[in-house]
Structure 1
Amino acid sequence: DFVAAASHDLKNPINVIGGYAQMLGDAVYGPMSGEQAEITGRIHEQASMLERQVEQLTDLSRMEAGGFRVEPGPVGVAEIVGRTERSFRALADQRGIRFAVDRRAGAPSRVVVDADRILHEVLGNLLGNAFKFTDTGGEVVLGVGATEDGALEIVVRDTGRGIPAEALPHIFDRYFQVGD
């Protein structure tokens, strides 16, 4: 399958870029200025993002072929929220967007979910879009709490331009994107 082969071929150069950026960031090749360290950090973040996108492409290919498996397991909610917050903090600072996490009382401490494939991808996409469409000086809030029946509730709020009313019926259509 073309997608599987292309994904495989992309992983090695992405890992090399990310690995060298990590080594530069760890000062393996000597000290860097603050600006160099910041740029190196961004390279590493973008390589990680590209790696996740290639993994998503591979998962999509598996879904279409009927070979995708969800592997749920117990995960700490604080761990999920902390990892997500750390992942997006640099982007928020870079874009001049206030990023807050609203931890409401009553949220379960653990959930059973495929954290890597489902939760991080979905949450990453929601937050990625929130940051993409929020202007400098705006705000993105990740809300974590519980529904009335005690289930985990995760909400992303932002001051971005929102989704036009005419696009709402199509946001879950395959390959649909609201125009930039």
Structure 2
Amino acid sequence: LVALAVNLRLARDFVGDDPETASAMLEELATSIRDTIAELRDLAHGIYPPLLMDSGLPEALRAAAGRSPLEVEVEADGLRRYPTEVEAAVYFCCLEALQNAAKHAPEAKVSVSVREEAAALRFEVVDDGPGFGPEVARRGHGFVNMSDRLGAIGGSVRWDSTPGEGARICGSLPVREE
């Protein structure tokens, strides 16, 4: 970030004397800023929330729902504790889906449900927003992040949406039955 600030000052100094150089520097800075934002997002997604660690998935999801600008209902009762990587993956995928809904469907109502069945921890985030087409899912970083996060520990995610009909994000991770 310091390097970005220094380079921004340098570009500003070139504006009057050498506009072409200033323009080229600003283009490079724009790329660097986008890269830095992506790195910070990745870093932030890797931080394990204390509430998740201390209280588990249901409480952490309810707290996240409470911070959301959307009306969110969470159904996650009766869950046991799972390995850290499983809880983190489900939590961050649900968070990503909530953030996507807030960004693209700001008037939507959202439901988040998490349950264990058939040796899998399954989650579903459903909204009644405007939905999206398949091209959005292919180019969206959020969907790639969810797929990568779950895939790294043997899970999977799928999304079902049609423009005008809301969105449904479903994920599944294998867990040992107790």
TM band (smaller chain): 0.3 to 0.5
Under a length normalisation based on structure 1, what TM-score does the superposition of the two structures give?
A: 0.43
Between structure 1 and structure 2, the one with the greater Rg is: 2
Whose strand proportion is higher, 1 or 2?
2
